[in-house]
Structure 1
């Protein structure tokens, strides 16, 4: 009895596998026929949907860096007989942003012959610096001039302005800009490549580039503010 039941179970299991294979072939063929008759998603449609999704994000921050500025100011009077000197160490964070709202349909082009989607990126923008006043350090000589005048306050103001300007200069230097641009490029390429692959376009290639690549103009767009605005915002946080 048990042997008969075992043979019956094996027979039923085999039959179930055969039925599953037949149904799989049937539905697979049906889907393929449906795509041929009614048309499946095309790369342009997928890219357009991805573009709208990215534009809705508004701004992309592919790279963030922290810099430290060390500046000193010195004031002398009476031919150097009296003097005062102040040193400021000021750290700050800078964001490198892509304004995705600037991406338009004309910036996204599909080349069917090469199976390549070309994307022209907006330029990287520098936002900040966001100075860390809690980590800032100020040092001075406490000379005679600082006792008899307000030289220390004047030197501190001068140091802060110079430090913020120095942070911006560091942020726009070639190495971090290259890293930020590459991070932005990779992020955008992934954002277009993933939906294309999900739609079945496994061989599709996405190539993103900046409009100034290959030209002498490679400076970032500067969205930073005056050092007074930067310091007022830091104090309010």
Structure 2
């Protein structure tokens, strides 16, 4: 009987050895597909849903990272300038001319975000409130729209040189008046409020997208008293 079983053993053993490697070969492509799907799912989660827990300040700073300067308000108004030109001989004024000009001017108010470091942000996890302290607004040099100005000139005779001097003096005067008007407390208050609204919008939406939910963003400028809770 022992001799009769030997041929059977010799026939079955090679089949088992052939089936096991074949199963391993067939499983390899499926394993690669599963690994690829897992990698794609992880990358998608990392890109769209992942955020570092407890670091909304980092997310807020990231929202400002590519904005060195943010224009928050623009004011357009008209300034009035008036100049007088006298010309004569031997200290006697023989010719006198006068010119008044109404010149439109535009001034922009900007936030310098390049120095917005972590010290200017504070996160209160209990109330889910992000506090932001802004640097003072920067006021641009007035942009005079001299092409749209209206002029009124008086004088018996206005020479070319006198006309050029009157126009130059009026432009310099208009720029000084526009710069002073730009610092008017009422205009500054409008610009500061616009800055606060712009920062709230620029931070609240990215934080919500990052998964922090409805975050309250409180914004104030240097020197302002923090709001009472």
TM interval, shorter chain, is 0.5 to 0.7
Instruction: Pick closer, same or farther for the CA change 1:150–1:199 going to 2, 3 Å.
Output: closer
Q: Does 1:59 align with 2:72?
A: no
Instruction: Return 5+ residue gaps in structure 2 as ranges.
Output: 1-49
Superposition TM-score, scaled by structure 2 size? 0.67
Q: Aligned partners of 1:43 and 1:100: how far apart in 2?
A: 23
Match of 2:80 in 1: 70
Higher gyration radius (CA) = 2
Taking the aligned partners of 1:136 and 1:102, their CA distance within structure 2 comes to: 39
Q: Deviations over 1:99-155 (max 9, x none)?
A: 1112111111112233221111111111132221221222211324x34x8333222
Output the CA distance in 2 between the equivalents of 1:70 and 1:97. 25
Structure 2 residue matching 1:113: 3-state secondary structure: coil
Q: Which residue of 1 aligns with 2:134?
A: 121
Mind listing any 5+ residue stretches in structure 1 that lack a counterpart? Answer: 1-38, 215-237
Post-superposition shift, 1:84?
1.0
Give the equivalent residue in structure 2 for 1:194: 205
| 8 A contact 2:196–2:220 mirrored in 1 | yes
Query: How many aligned positions are there?
Result: 173
Does the CA contact (< 8 Å) of 1:43 and 1:196 recur in 2?
Answer: no
Contact 2:74–2:107 under 8 Å retained in 1: yes
- Distance in 1 (CA, whole Å) between partners of 2:148 and 2:109 is 22
Q: Residue 86 of structure 1 aligns with which residue?
A: 99
8 Å CA contact 1:41–1:199 kept in 2: the answer is: no
Structure-1-length-normalised TM-score: 0.65
2:187 paired residue number: 176
